[in-house]
Structure 1
Amino acid sequence: MTAGSRRGRSFVTIALAILMSLLLAAQGLGQWANNRGLGIMLEALGSRDADFLAKSAQRSFELRNYAAAEAVARRAVEGAPLHQKALRIVGMAQVAQGNPQGHETVRAAGLLGWQDVPTQAWLMIDALQRGQPQEAIFRADALARRAGVRPELLPLIVAFADDSTTLPTLLDRLELAPTWRQDFFRMASEATATQTNTLDMLLRRLQRGDAPPTREEVTPVVRRLVVLGNYDRADALATDLLGKPRSGSGNLVDDGGFALADVYRRPNNERTPFDWEIGSTRGATATVGASAGQDDGALYVDSNGAQPAVLATKVVRVPPGSYRFAFTVVSPDANALERFNWSATCLPGTQPLLEETSAALVAGQAKRVELPLTVPASGCEAQTLRLHAKSTSPRETVGARFDDIEIRPLP
């Protein structure tokens, strides 16, 4: 068996696995199934309305009464020769009954337009069976434009991307920025590790073209790479396509001053794990000054102590070694660090890297706090920084301002 024939069989296997799901989802066929059988056919044959006839034929087809489906659909075509749905049902019923002419009939229905979703699904499979994956990509594009990108399509599109003979055609379609492109990349949240790597490759190839990927398309893939533990690839994608600052020999916490106002105006689901994710809960709030129109970019937090909360989170890449973690804090409450504390943990895993501090402050005066941080030689490919609000008693609102977060190597 040649490589080309193996690829073709692989495409067909994937596509056949999703065809019935696409048909059911696109047309709601299941709701039409009942036990009327012959009654559907007799009722339909007494009508001259092509739409009603086509719908009745579809009911018979769903009941696997293929002879009745063909008969009713043929009556619809006699009255409306250009009725795409009816002609498609004639062909599908013929194929179901072992008549190879049905393939040509469905292809004829496909010439009448791109609007009927089951027609495009059928023709996509037909193109793959005929060894025409490029044509199948056009059909998949039509499917996605009409019915949206469903999870069932993800493995097929990934298979097209992984094949050097079909990748150029797929990129041509994606560079047209079809309405389904953003939803396609959002499916990264359900992708396997291999599929996510392919999505990464597609984003990079699109970056070279006339319709580069948007932040909304790149972010889900970066997030998924982090979830899958592929921190190197996630970091590289965020750096190359989203402008994430490259880690240098100085401060290893980019945007430790919360100064990127445009980032903080976005909802959290449009930020990568390498951006600060700012959270508020009942009884505890966090606001970045830059996004609130203030002159500085500091992080402002408050908590009434009723329940614990995570107010800020960020993934960083710190190589193994010894470091100094530092931050500046100011609060009207001298005991603010009994309410708020920073943590750093390894990824993967939850190994803590920082000791808590409850250093006393001078109310209203900024204090620079420094803590030792050691990253082990293995098992700590990335790290998560978090600012916590603790549950305390008495419960009274305490506020603080944090700024200039740093991780620097010890001299």
Structure 2
Amino acid sequence: MARSASFAGGSHAPRRSANLPYPDAGGADDRAWRGEVVPLVYLAFVLLLGGGGTYYPLVETAIEWAAIGVIGWSTLRLRHAAIGPFGKALLALAALALLLPLAQLIPLPWSVWSTLGGQEQAVAIYRILGWEGVSRPLSLSPDATRATLLAQLPALAALLAVLGLSWTARLVALRIVVAIALLGILVAALQIAAGPDAAPLLYDTAHRGYGVGLFVNRNHQAVFLLVAMLVSTVPGVLVPDRRGVGGIGRLPFPALLAIVALLAMGVLASASRTALLLLPLALAGALLPFVRRVRRGRWLPATIGVAMVAAVALWFTPLVQGVLARFATVGEEDRYNYWDNSLFALRQSLPWGTGFGSFQTVYPVVEPLDQIQFLTVPHAHSDYLELAMEGGVPALALALAGLVLVGCGLVAALRAGGADATTRRGVAIGATGGIVMLLAGSIVDFPLRMSALLTLFAALVALLAPPAVVPARRRSGIAWRIVVAVVLLGAAWQALAQGLSQQLMHGRQGAAASQVAPWSGRAWAMVAAQHPLPGQAAAAEAAARRALATRPMDAVAVRVAGLAAIARGDTATGQTLLRQAAQLGWRDAPTQLWLVREAINAGAFDFALERIDALLRQRQLAPILYAQMSRLFDLPEGRSAIARRLAERPGWRQGFLNTLARGAPDRVDALAAFYGDLARAGVPVRTDEVRLTLWRLAEAGDMVAAERLWRMAGGTGRIGNGGFDGPAGALPPAAPPFDWRAPPAAGVRVAIGEPDQPWNGQAVEIAADAGSAGTPLAQRTRLLPGTYRLGFVLRSDGPVPALDWIVACGDAPPVTATLAAPVADRGWQRYAGTIRLPGRCDDGELRVRLGETNRAVSAWIDDVTLARTG
């Protein structure tokens, strides 16, 4: 049978499709093909631009406008079409999926709304505001629910458009998926080759350095490539089917294998662990249709050989090893915490959910302090959990019905007969494989929250249905056209206002955003926060109330309403609102600062430090908070509370210890008591944590205090870090007491590293050019009169350099160690010697002096000890 000239590059006239019974063979067929171009262009447009998500609202608005246009076009085109039972069931399910968020926007009586699960804090806030009895929709974030509803339009457009495509056009749609996937791989290769800083990115991403292709998230890129891999080998897409129909020419099996291998390489380049686990399944599904052909033909030995060589070669590449290395951190995944918290919120909100799009409102309420970090959590990283949390039992029921419907569609396609049965079976198997990949990726991520992948998902589901029979010339009536136009124009206006409002909020233009989209609670909350208090208390409170009328659990709006009430003299109401704001999470900095001040005034230091901890984990207001903690540090009770907080080893622990170094000379006893508190709490300070404090004490000339605190931090003997266990690299020219430094010496290089034959891990290497001399290594210390035993080990592959060990103390003559003959031990030379100090040396320095050499030398030193023997 001849292939279609329009889509397969053949030279014959277009074949009349069995499901498009046009009355004439000329103009009607041409009009049909022209009509099918619109869905194909739309699909390509969304797949190319729909990988950025809500962080790019204007792009999302452009996609939604395109979807609205396609919905209108498809609605009129399918108005009188004959759609099979499966297609009608899909449309009914899609209608229910749109009606569910609409139902969440319907105001409910107070008696009903106030008893719903997950609404307790919203109810409490409304009672404080005096709004008890008002009607409220189920959704806790109606503006986000409206945005979610608009975000479903691209998927609806794909569903309607694909239902009206012939089998030939459907094969072209799958070719478009493969082509854009290959384009994404090309972009990903350029991104990896250019490096993280110069990578050509369509969207800014936290996954710089990986192959994200046309997406903002590497996991979504990987899932898209897996889908493309499965549909690329559908007979009729890239290779002709048994009847010779479809396919780009007669693509030989090696070329198809190369395309599948390229897609697999793109999956590896994304470094997605989930995709790597799904890759063998996708490869098996992609190549399954060709097993019989390979087994009967001459390609079997070559295919096996190439696959084995490629697998071995790839295994040792940095690309594969980098992906495998990521599995070592599976146990540290933050996703487990996201899931646990989301499950907690889910149990609270059953059976009706909290409203689509409300995740970012609800999740901060259940986010524990020890999980707070700089980045916020935008999604549950499981589409199923987030769907259940926001949509409740009705959403889960719809999802289950959708899965059953997909299964029924596959079974019907496999049993179908007729002229297009072979094509239908192949397309159904490939589409189902793609659906499985998207659903599997949704277990641990949120691919269906991206317009590109949600649209692709809807298109794949629609491919399971037989094409609708579209009449050639019958048109919809004018009344129907007017109704469709009015509805779609309203949706287009909503989409534009939503997108512009979000874009303006990205630019911190709250006033303009609230005028463009007056229903946006987020915009009004931004307006409220931008009115300075107490000068504009009335305007701030009015905007906050506008926000709370839409989003009753908006932490910013609750906080502004509370501060505004205090500013106008209603202290009791204001403080009550601020306490409610504190229960809405740890992330609103002004609320937490108010609580810190109130708690300190009340002597509740542990409570205050919890709030300080939350802000510091988000890298907010560190100078202000460290100053607050420094004042608490001067109080014994406050110092103990700080020690209890630092006992949990928060990420800002080192920063605060460095802050204490500023006043170290005036608070030595307080620091000693603090170190003692930390030791009793089971997390004593380490010597590397107090380096700045020791430095400040040495600068002040108080080496006695420096030694005291160094020993409390775990220092032993008379010198520190004798094993050179610090960070590898060149030693600095200056260092605090009880730490090594490398005084500048011409032609001499000193660095900590790992010898080829280590003594005990790291060591320090002294490398000198011929004719060099000087003092390459030194450490400031405090020594009492008496005899000291010096020990170290040395290894040199060439001439042993002339090294003297000297103690220098002020203006007194330096004392040189007397070294005994070395003893060979494990390829190293073990040295021992003695140093006799005639007087006290409160601020001395142990130095290694390098004698002039007549050739280049290199030596490793390790295990340096200096202990007083008498």
TM-score, L = length of structure 1? 0.63
Show the 5 A alignment for 1:268-307: 273-277=737-741, 283-286=747-750, 293-295=757-759, 300-304=765-769
Q: Is the 8 A contact 2:730 2:752 kept in 1?
A: no
Match of 1:144 in 2: 616
RMSD: 5.0
Does 1:179 find its partner at 2:651? yes
Choose the corresponding residue for 1:314, options 774, 779, 790.
779
CA separation of 1:396 and 1:319: change in aligned 2, threshold 3 A: same
- Once the two structures are TM-superposed, the CA of residue 66 in structure 1 deviates from its matched residue by 3.6
Q: Distance in 1 between matches of 2:686 and 2:787?
A: 37
Q: Is the 8 A contact 2:739 2:780 kept in 1?
A: yes
CA separation of 1:131 and 1:204: change in aligned 2, threshold 3 A: closer
Q: Distance in 2 between matches of 1:298 and 1:147?
A: 35
Q: Distance in 2 between matches of 1:95 and 1:305?
A: 76
Q: Distance in 1 between matches of 2:614 and 2:867?
A: 52
CA separation of 1:371 and 1:132: change in aligned 2, threshold 3 A: closer
Choose the corresponding residue for 1:154, options 623, 626, 630.
626
Q: Which structure has greater helix proportion?
A: 2
Q: Distance in 2 between matches of 1:174 and 1:293?
A: 39
**Deviation string for 1:17-71 (max 9, x for gaps)?**
xxxxxxxxxxxxxxxxxxxxxx965763662212222222222228954432222
Q: Is the 8 A contact 2:664 2:693 kept in 1?
A: no
Does 1:76 find its partner at 2:527? no
Does 1:237 find its partner at 2:701? no
Q: Partner letter of residue 655 of structure 2?
A: D
Match of 1:118 in 2: 590
May I ask how many residue pairs the two structures share in their alignment? Answer: 346
Q: Once structures 1 and 2 are overlaid, which stretch shifts more, 366-375 or 274-283?
A: 366-375
Match of 2:525 in 1: 54
- Once the two structures are TM-superposed, the CA of residue 121 in structure 1 deviates from its matched residue by 0.7
Q: Distance in 2 between matches of 1:217 and 1:369?
A: 31
- Once the two structures are TM-superposed, the CA of residue 150 in structure 1 deviates from its matched residue by 1.8
Match of 1:382 in 2: 843
Match of 2:514 in 1: 44
Q: Distance in 1 between matches of 2:683 and 2:637?
A: 22
Q: Partner letter of residue 44 of structure 1?
A: S
Q: Is the 8 A contact 1:61 1:93 kept in 2?
A: no
Q: Is the 8 A contact 2:521 2:548 kept in 1?
A: yes
- Once the two structures are TM-superposed, the CA of residue 316 in structure 1 deviates from its matched residue by 2.2
- Once the two structures are TM-superposed, the CA of residue 314 in structure 1 deviates from its matched residue by 0.9
Q: Is the 8 A contact 2:770 2:854 kept in 1?
A: yes
**Deviation string for 1:354-381 (max 9, x for gaps)?**
289xxxxxxxx99999998665x6xx52
Show the 5 A alignment for 1:83-122: 83-100=554-571, 101-122=573-594
Gaps of 5+ in 1: 1-38, 248-252, 357-364
Q: Distance in 2 between matches of 1:81 and 1:191?
A: 46
- Once the two structures are TM-superposed, the CA of residue 82 in structure 1 deviates from its matched residue by 0.8
Q: Which structure has greater strand proportion?
A: 1
Match of 2:439 in 1: none
- Once the two structures are TM-superposed, the CA of residue 83 in structure 1 deviates from its matched residue by 0.4
Match of 2:599 in 1: 127
Match of 1:28 in 2: none
Q: Is the 8 A contact 1:344 1:353 kept in 2?
A: no
CA separation of 1:184 and 1:75: change in aligned 2, threshold 3 A: same
Q: Secondary structure at the match of 2:844?
A: strand
CA separation of 1:50 and 1:280: change in aligned 2, threshold 3 A: farther
Q: Partner letter of residue 57 of structure 1?
A: A
Q: Is the 8 A contact 1:41 1:69 kept in 2?
A: no
Q: Partner letter of residue 106 of structure 1?
A: L
Q: Distance in 1 between matches of 2:692 and 2:715?
A: 16
Q: Secondary structure at the match of 1:115?
A: coil
- Once the two structures are TM-superposed, the CA of residue 88 in structure 1 deviates from its matched residue by 0.9
Q: Distance in 1 between matches of 2:688 and 2:526?
A: 39
Q: Is the 8 A contact 2:511 2:523 kept in 1?
A: no
CA separation of 1:43 and 1:408: change in aligned 2, threshold 3 A: closer
- Once the two structures are TM-superposed, the CA of residue 410 in structure 1 deviates from its matched residue by 12
Q: Partner letter of residue 354 of structure 1?
A: P
Q: Secondary structure at the match of 1:244?
A: coil
Bigger-Rg structure (1/2): 2
Q: Distance in 1 between matches of 2:730 and 2:575?
A: 49
- Once the two structures are TM-superposed, the CA of residue 309 in structure 1 deviates from its matched residue by 7.0
Q: Distance in 2 between matches of 1:305 and 1:131?
A: 66
Q: Distance in 1 between matches of 2:754 and 2:739?
A: 14
Q: Partner letter of residue 273 of structure 1?
A: P
Q: Is the 8 A contact 2:742 2:778 kept in 1?
A: yes
Q: Is the 8 A contact 1:110 1:119 kept in 2?
A: yes
Q: Distance in 2 between matches of 1:328 and 1:136?
A: 51
Q: Partner letter of residue 274 of structure 1?
A: F
Q: Distance in 1 between matches of 2:863 and 2:644?
A: 45
Q: Is the 8 A contact 1:343 1:353 kept in 2?
A: no
Q: Secondary structure at the match of 1:354?
A: strand
Q: Is the 8 A contact 2:513 2:523 kept in 1?
A: no
CA separation of 1:290 and 1:145: change in aligned 2, threshold 3 A: closer
**Deviation string for 1:302-359 (max 9, x for gaps)?**
333799875212122222589999999999889x76xx7766544xxx6464289xxx
CA separation of 1:381 and 1:326: change in aligned 2, threshold 3 A: same
Gaps of 5+ in 2: 1-508, 817-828
Q: Secondary structure at the match of 2:618?
A: helix
Choose the corresponding residue for 1:194, options 666, 673, 676.
666
Q: Distance in 2 between matches of 1:156 and 1:197?
A: 20
Q: Is the 8 A contact 2:790 2:867 kept in 1?
A: yes
Match of 2:814 in 1: 354
TM-score, L = length of structure 2? 0.33
